[in-house]
């Protein structure tokens, strides 16, 4: 296991992101804290998908297949959020 | 190519086409897992928006440091799987060691999770039928229900992953897979492991670190 191996470097970045996630939870609260926490999680996932899950080595259609579910999930969350925030009391 | 190992199968015209089909199929399967856990995250989002203060209070009752240690354990296990896949592509004997180490870290994760459940049980926070629990608010009860379902489902997936990695490690050691020609088998197994890791990457801030 070489330290210069990109796989190992990505693991180091992921561990820094983990520390940032915990640190941010102490510093930020409310919606901003949630956005930052989820943003870091998306960043971690992007590194894992791109290198560990070989998305960087694939071409168009496999990438769509890999990421399509996240697009559907984003649509679901968007509609749910809009519905929740516009509910009349 | 090693003797006795048939790499190309019907209906594929070439090994690259066959590899792409395997990757595509695995990505689509993993997308179904994303949608499965996506439903749980949607429920968490609704709970957070509807009962923000109580949701944060319930999250603060979680043992975030155990979750943090477990996140580090899973991220490291993903490193080991990635190194195992790299070794498998080269036909290296170290494939067995890396995959075995990843499975071992999976067991460590489950050990910490079991300890965490036991602590929550003793605190009366684990919503187990037939056991007297004491939640401060109905939202905390709902939160702990969701937590148990989400982490239990994740633990089940991880258990499947541990069995998968152990099997791959054993078969890689006995040349049962046929490396490096059939490294795609290890690659596909690795994809499953990483998606289980990614699910936890999101569960951790959502359930443990809401503030």
ipTM score of the complex? 0.94
Tell me the two tokens of residue B170: 């054993």
CB contact under 8 Å between B24 and A40, yes or no, is no
CB contact under 8 Å between A15 and B72, yes or no, is yes
3-class SS shares of chain B: helix, strand, coil, % to 5: 75, 0, 25
Residues of B in contact with A78 (CB under 8 A): none
- pLDDT at residue A3 above 80? no
Q: Which residue of B has its CA nearest to A24?
A: B209
Gap between the Cα atoms of A20 and B122, Å rounded: 31
Among the partner residues A7, A14, A21, nearest to B86 by beta-carbon distance: A7
CB contact under 8 Å between A81 and B49, yes or no, is yes
Q: Which residue of B has its CA nearest to A48?
A: B194
pLDDT of residue B73: 98
pLDDT of residue A89: 61
Query: What number of CA atoms fall less than 13 Å from residue B142's CA on the CB side?
Result: 17
Cα torsion through A63, A68, A69, A72, rounded to 10: 160
End-to-end CA distance of chain B: 56
3-state secondary structure of B153: helix
Among the partner residues B27, B46, B64, nearest to A66 by beta-carbon distance: B27
| Below-50 pLDDT ranges, chain B | 1-4
Gap between the Cα atoms of A37 and B183, Å rounded: 35
Percent of chain A with pLDDT over 70: 98
pTM: 0.94
CB distance from A1 to chain B under 8 Å? yes
Gap between the Cα atoms of B51 and B210, Å rounded: 12
Separation in Å, CA of A3 to nearest CA in chain B? 12
Q: Which residue of A has its CA nearest to B77?
A: A11
Separation in Å, CA of B203 to nearest CA in chain A? 9
Residue B55: partners with Cβ closer than 8 Å, 6 or more residues away = B47, B48, B139, B143, B210
Tell me the two tokens of residue B95: 């494939």
Alpha helices by DSSP H, B91-137: 94-122
CB distance from A80 to chain B under 8 Å? yes
């Amino acid at each position: 296991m070489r330290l210069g191996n990109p796989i190992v470097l990505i693991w180091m970045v992921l561990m820094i992101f983990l520390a940032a996630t915990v640190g941010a939870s102490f510093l930020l609260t409310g919606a901003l804290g949630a956005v930052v926490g989820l943003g870091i999680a998306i960043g971690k996932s992007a590194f894992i998908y791109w290198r560990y899950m070989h998305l960087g080595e694939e071409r168009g259609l496999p990438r769509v297949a890999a990421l399509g579910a996240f697009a559907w999930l984003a649509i679901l969350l968007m509609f749910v959020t809009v519905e929740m925030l516009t509910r009349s009391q | 190519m090693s003797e006795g190992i048939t790499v190309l199968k019907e209906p594929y015209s070439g090994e690259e086409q066959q590899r792409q089909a395997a990757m595509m199929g695995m990505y689509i399967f993993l997308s179904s897992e994303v949608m499965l856990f996506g439903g749980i995250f949607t429920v968490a989002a609704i709970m957070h928006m509807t009962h923000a203060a109580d949701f944060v209070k319930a999250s603060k009752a979680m043992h975030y440091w155990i979750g943090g240690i477990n996140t580090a354990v899973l991220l490291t296990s993903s490193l080991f799987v990635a190194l195992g896949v790299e070794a498998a592509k080269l036909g290296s004997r170290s494939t067995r060691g890396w995959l075995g180490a990843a499975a071992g870290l999976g067991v460590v994760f489950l050990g910490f999770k079991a300890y965490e459940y036991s602590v929550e049980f003793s605190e009366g926070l684990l919503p187990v039928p037939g056991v007297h629990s004491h939640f401060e608010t109905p939202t905390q009860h709902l939160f702990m229900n969701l937590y148990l379902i989400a982490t239990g489902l994740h633990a089940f997936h991880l258990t499947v992953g541990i069995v998968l990695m152990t099997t791959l490690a054993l078969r890689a050691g006995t040349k049962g897979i046929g490396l490096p020609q059939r490294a795609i088998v290890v690659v596909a197994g690795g994809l499953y492991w990483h998606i289980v890791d990614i699910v936890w990457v999101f569960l951790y801030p959502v359930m443990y670190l809401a503030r």
